């Protein structure tokens, strides 16, 4: 009885390995190695991962299109990037201000 179970486990592992290798070969056909050199311009997407919809239309797999716009270029000298690749984000100006009234306090 134990030998039959071991054979089934071995057979399942072999089939999973074959399936994995087949999928990897399909992916490797379209994968490209990208190499950057000093002075190359790249588009860096910087966003917080809090409150980001990861599934659905705005998720990781949604289609993204980008049209080149010179106003999107940010020079490195203007951003103070920390060694952990984080930066302090500060608002440029306040567009609107509201006061939320709760039961015992108000929040601006």
Give me the torsion for CA of 8, 13, 15, 18, rounded to 10°.
Answer: -160
Closest CA to 72 of 48, 42, 49: 42
pLDDT at 16 over 80: yes
57-61, 80-84, 95-99: range with lowest mean pLDDT: 57-61
Of the candidates 87, 74, 65, 66, the one whose C-alpha atom is nearest the C-alpha of residue 41 is: 74
If one counts the domains in the chain, the total is: 1
Tokens of 56: 């659905």
pLDDT band for position 93 (cuts 50, 70, 90) = confident
Higher pLDDT, 63 or 81: 81
Give 108's contacts (C-beta < 8 A, 6+ positions apart): 97, 98, 99, 100
Tokens of 84: 């952990």
The predicted model scores a pTM of 0.33
| Between residues 31 and 19, the one the model is more confident about | 19
Q: Which residues constitute the domain of residue 84?
A: 2-107
């Amino acid at each position: 009885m134990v030998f039959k179970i071991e054979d089934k486990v071995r057979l399942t592992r072999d089939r999973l390995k074959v399936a994995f290798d087949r999928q990897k070969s399909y992916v490797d056909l379209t994968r490209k190695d990208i190499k950057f050199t000093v002075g190359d311009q790249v588009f860096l997407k910087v966003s917080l991962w809090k409150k980001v919809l990861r599934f659905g239309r705005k998720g990781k797999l949604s289609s993204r299109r980008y049209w080149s716009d010179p106003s999107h270029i940010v020079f490195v000298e203007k951003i103070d990037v920390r060694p952990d690749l984080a930066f302090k984000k500060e608002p440029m100006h306040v567009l609107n201000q509201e006061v939320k009234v709760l039961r015992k306090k108000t929040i601006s």
